[in-house]
Chain A
C-alpha cells in the first residue's frame, strides 16, 4: 500500500466569508470503511461534493490513486470509478427502479446516439449485458420486488436502498455514502450496516461515509474522521474518536461554563 486510494491535501473551500472546509487533509486506504462525523455544518457533505467535483476547492486538491481529480468535471470523476449517494436522495423520480440502475451503467457504455437510434446489434448486446450486471446488484440488495416500480411511488426506506443500488451498478472502486441510515428505522439501519460490510468484504469496494448514527459508525468503520466547523478535530478508530474530548465538546457543547 504505497499510494492511498483517495487523498485530500490541505483542502479548503470558501463560500463568501464562510470557510466551509478549512485546511482538511486525510488519506483513505484501499478496502477500508472511512467515516466522516461531526455536528451539522461541520463540512461533511461539502467534502463529499469536493470529492465528486461538484464543488471546486478554493485551495488544496483531491487525489484519486495519485491523480488530481478536483479540477475535472464531475462526470469524468465518476468515470474514474467514484460513485456516490445523496443525503436527500437524488433518484430519477419518473423512471422505474430498473431504469435508475441502468443509468448507473452509463459510464460503461460505448455506443453513440446514432447507433442507439437504430438500435443496432451492438446496442442490443450491450443492453442485455447491462441488464445482467444490474440484476446482480438487484440480487445483492434484495430489490427484485421493486424492479419495475416507479421511484416516485416508493417509500423512503426503499428509495435509500435503490440509491445505494444505483451507485453499486456503476461498479465503482470508491463509494461515497452520504448519511446512508438517515430516515431509516432500526431494522433498515441494521440491514444497511450488513450491506456496507458486504460491500467492503465481498465486492472489495472502498467506502467513505458521512453518518450521524454512532452505532452504525462504530460497527462498520475502520477509521473515523471527526470534523467541526470545517476543521479536523481528530482521526482514529471509532472508539478513540468517541472518547476524544474535542468530539464530546463539539457534540454536547463546552463543559467549562456549565
Chain B
C-alpha cells in the first residue's frame, strides 16, 4: 500500500498525488494515442462516441453529482450545441469559433433553465428540467428553417486548417483532445473554491449560505458550466452523426445520460467516463449476444432498455457509488491484500438533519 509522506501542502493540491498515479495516467495517455493503430475502425468509432458522451456526462456529473441538482433535460443542452454547430458551420463559421459558440449558446440556455433552480429543489427541479427537454424538442421540430424539422439536418464535413477531420482517426484525436481538456478543467474546478462551493450546496444548502456561499450564483454557474459541456459534446456529436434529427435529443436520451452518470458513480469524475464506457460495451454485448439467444427473447424490442434497467436497479441497490465505487473497493483489496474486510467502506448512517429550516 502506498503511504505518502507529506512534507508540503502542495502535495494535497497536485492532480497526481504520487508516482504510481503519474505512471498509470501516462500509460493511459499512451494507450489513447496508440488506439488508432490497435483498434479496428469500428471499435475506434465506438471509442469516439464514448469520448463524446464522457463530455456530456462530465457536465451532468458536475451538476447532479457535485452540486446535487438533478437534471432530466440534458439532451436539450446537447441539442442546443448540435444545432448551433450545424447552423454556424453551414454559414461558414470556422470550427475554432463555432465550437465555443455552441458551448456559449448551450451555457446561456443553461442559465435560463438554472434560474428556476433558485426557487425549486430536488424532484421539483427535475420535473422543471424535464419540461424544458420536452419544450426544446418541440421547438426544434417547429424551427424548420434552422433545424430542418423532423426531416433532420445535414452537417457538413469538418475541415480545420485544411485537414479533414471527418476521417475516423483525425476525429478520434480531436474528440479525445477536447475530452481531456474538459476533464482537466473539471478537475481544476473541483480542487478550488468553486468546486468546494458546489459540494457544499449539495450537502447542506443552509450551512453553505452561512459559510458565505451565494447559492444563486453558484447554482447558476453549475447549470451554465454543465450545459456548456453538453453544448461542446453536442457540436462533436453533430459531426459524428452527420445528420441530426429531433428524436435523437428526446426524453429517452436525457434518461440515458442520467443513467450513465449513476452507473458510473455519482460524485466522481472517473464515474463520468466509466458510465458511458460501460454503456457502450454492454450495448455491444447485447447486439452480439442477441444472435445466441433464442429468437423469442433475442428479437424482443425492449431487450436493451430492460437490461439497462436491471443494471441500474442493481447498481442503486448494491453499489450506490457506482462503478467507480466498485473500482475503489477492488483497488483497496489489491493494495492491502490480504487484510481487506467486507465492511471497510460501510459508513455510519447520517445523523438526523435539521428539519426546522426546510
Q: Are B354 and A86 in contact (CB under 8 A)?
A: yes
How many Å from the CB of B59 to the closest CB on chain A? 13
Q: Are A90 and B197 in contact (CB under 8 A)?
A: no
Residues of A in contact with B (beta carbons under 8 Å apart): 45, 49, 52, 54, 73-75, 78-79, 83-84, 86-95, 98-99, 102-107, 109, 111, 113, 116-119, 123-124, 126-128, 131-132, 135, 150, 152-153, 156, 159, 166, 170
B209-246 near A? 1/0 per residue, CB < 8 Å: 11111110000010001000000000000000000000
**Which of B212, B214, B348 has the most chain A CB within a 10 Å cutoff?**
B212
List chain A residues, Cβ under 8 A from B185: 117-118
The chain B residue sitting closest to A92, CB to CB, is B203
Q: Are A88 and B353 in contact (CB under 8 A)?
A: yes
Whether B164 is near chain A, meaning CB under 8 Å from some CB there, is no
Q: Which of B244-286 contact A (CB under 8 A)?
A: 267
Extra contacts, 5 of them, besides A86-B206, A90-B210, A106-B212 (Cβ < 8 A), are A78-B210, A103-B208, A116-B194, A127-B13, A131-B9
List chain A residues, Cβ under 8 A from B221: 113
Please measure, in the bound complex, the distance between the C-alpha atom of A143 and the C-alpha atom of B348, giving whole angstroms: 20
User: Do A106 and B197 form a contact, CB below 8 Å, given A52-B210, A93-B203?
Assistant: yes
Please measure, in the bound complex, the distance between the C-alpha atom of A150 and the C-alpha atom of B10, giving whole angstroms: 20
Please measure, in the bound complex, the distance between the C-alpha atom of A161 and the C-alpha atom of B77, giving whole angstroms: 43
Interface magnitude class on chain B: 35 or more
List chain A residues, Cβ under 8 A from B10: 124, 128
List chain A residues, Cβ under 8 A from B353: 88, 90
Please measure, in the bound complex, the distance between the C-alpha atom of A104 and the C-alpha atom of B347, giving whole angstroms: 24
Q: Are B356 and A109 in contact (CB under 8 A)?
A: no
Closest 9 CB pairs of A and B: A107-B212, A116-B192, A78-B212, A90-B207, A92-B203, A119-B188, A74-B209, A88-B354, A131-B9
Question: A interface, by DSSP: helix, strand, loop or mixed?
Answer: helix
Please measure, in the bound complex, the distance between the C-alpha atom of A74 and the C-alpha atom of B206, giving whole angstroms: 9
Whether B193 is near chain A, meaning CB under 8 Å from some CB there, is yes
List chain A residues, Cβ under 8 A from B351: 88-89, 156, 159
How many Å from the CB of A75 to the closest CB on chain B? 5
Please measure, in the bound complex, the distance between the C-alpha atom of A170 and the C-alpha atom of B211, giving whole angstroms: 8
A–B pairs, 14, beta carbons within 8 Å: A90-B353, A91-B207, A93-B350, A94-B267, A102-B193, A106-B193, A106-B196, A106-B197, A106-B211, A106-B213, A109-B193, A119-B191, A135-B9, A150-B347
B63-103 near A? 1/0 per residue, CB < 8 Å: 00000000000000000000000000000000000000000
List chain A residues, Cβ under 8 A from B357: 49, 54
Please measure, in the bound complex, the distance between the C-alpha atom of A79 and the C-alpha atom of B51, giving whole angstroms: 41
Residues of B in contact with A (beta carbons under 8 Å apart): 9-10, 12-13, 185, 188-189, 191-197, 199-200, 202-204, 206-215, 221, 225, 267, 347-348, 350-354, 356-357
Q: Are A75 and B213 in contact (CB under 8 A)?
A: yes
How many Å from the CB of A197 to the closest CB on chain B? 24
List chain B residues, Cβ under 8 A from A99: 196, 199
Please measure, in the bound complex, the distance between the C-alpha atom of A126 and the C-alpha atom of B9, giving whole angstroms: 12
Please measure, in the bound complex, the distance between the C-alpha atom of A45 and the C-alpha atom of B291, giving whole angstroms: 66
Please measure, in the bound complex, the distance between the C-alpha atom of A12 and the C-alpha atom of B202, giving whole angstroms: 32
List chain B residues, Cβ under 8 A from A104: 211
Please measure, in the bound complex, the distance between the C-alpha atom of A93 and the C-alpha atom of B197, giving whole angstroms: 13
Please measure, in the bound complex, the distance between the C-alpha atom of A124 and the C-alpha atom of B188, giving whole angstroms: 10
Please measure, in the bound complex, the distance between the C-alpha atom of A255 and the C-alpha atom of B354, giving whole angstroms: 35
List chain A residues, Cβ under 8 A from B192: 111, 116, 119, 123, 127
List chain B residues, Cβ under 8 A from A103: 196-197, 199-200, 208, 211, 213
Q: Are A79 and B209 in contact (CB under 8 A)?
A: no
How many Å from the CB of B186 to the closest CB on chain A? 8
The chain A residue sitting closest to B356, CB to CB, is A45
Q: Are B188 and A90 in contact (CB under 8 A)?
A: no
Q: Are A113 and B210 in contact (CB under 8 A)?
A: no
Please measure, in the bound complex, the distance between the C-alpha atom of A73 and the C-alpha atom of B347, giving whole angstroms: 35
List chain B residues, Cβ under 8 A from A131: 9, 12-13
Q: Per a CB cutoff under 8 Å, which of A92, A113, A153 touches B194?
A: A113
Please measure, in the bound complex, the distance between the C-alpha atom of A113 and the C-alpha atom of B185, giving whole angstroms: 10
The chain B residue sitting closest to A99, CB to CB, is B196
Q: Per a CB cutoff under 8 Å, which of B13, B189, B348 touches A153?
A: B348
List chain A residues, Cβ under 8 A from B352: 88
List chain B residues, Cβ under 8 A from A87: 354
**Which of A86, A117, A153 has the most chain B CB within a 10 Å cutoff?**
A117
Please measure, in the bound complex, the distance between the C-alpha atom of A208 and the C-alpha atom of B193, giving whole angstroms: 28
Q: Are B209 and A94 in contact (CB under 8 A)?
A: no
Please measure, in the bound complex, the distance between the C-alpha atom of A151 and the C-alpha atom of B213, giving whole angstroms: 20
The chain B residue sitting closest to A95, CB to CB, is B199
List chain A residues, Cβ under 8 A from B267: 94
Q: Per a CB cutoff under 8 Å, which of B195, B209, B356 touches A78?
A: B209
List chain B residues, Cβ under 8 A from A94: 199, 202-203, 267
Please measure, in the bound complex, the distance between the C-alpha atom of A166 and the C-alpha atom of B13, giving whole angstroms: 19
Q: Are B210 and A84 in contact (CB under 8 A)?
A: yes
How many Å from the CB of A218 to the closest CB on chain B? 27
List chain B residues, Cβ under 8 A from A150: 347
List chain B residues, Cβ under 8 A from A86: 206-207, 354
Please measure, in the bound complex, the distance between the C-alpha atom of A27 and the C-alpha atom of B207, giving whole angstroms: 25
How many Å from the CB of B193 to the closest CB on chain A? 4
List chain A residues, Cβ under 8 A from B356: 45
User: Do A54 and B203 form a contact, CB below 8 Å, given A75-B213, A78-B211, A123-B192?
Assistant: no
The chain B residue sitting closest to A148, CB to CB, is B12
The chain A residue sitting closest to B13, CB to CB, is A127
Please measure, in the bound complex, the distance between the C-alpha atom of A105 and the C-alpha atom of B206, giving whole angstroms: 17
How many Å from the CB of A42 to the closest CB on chain B? 14
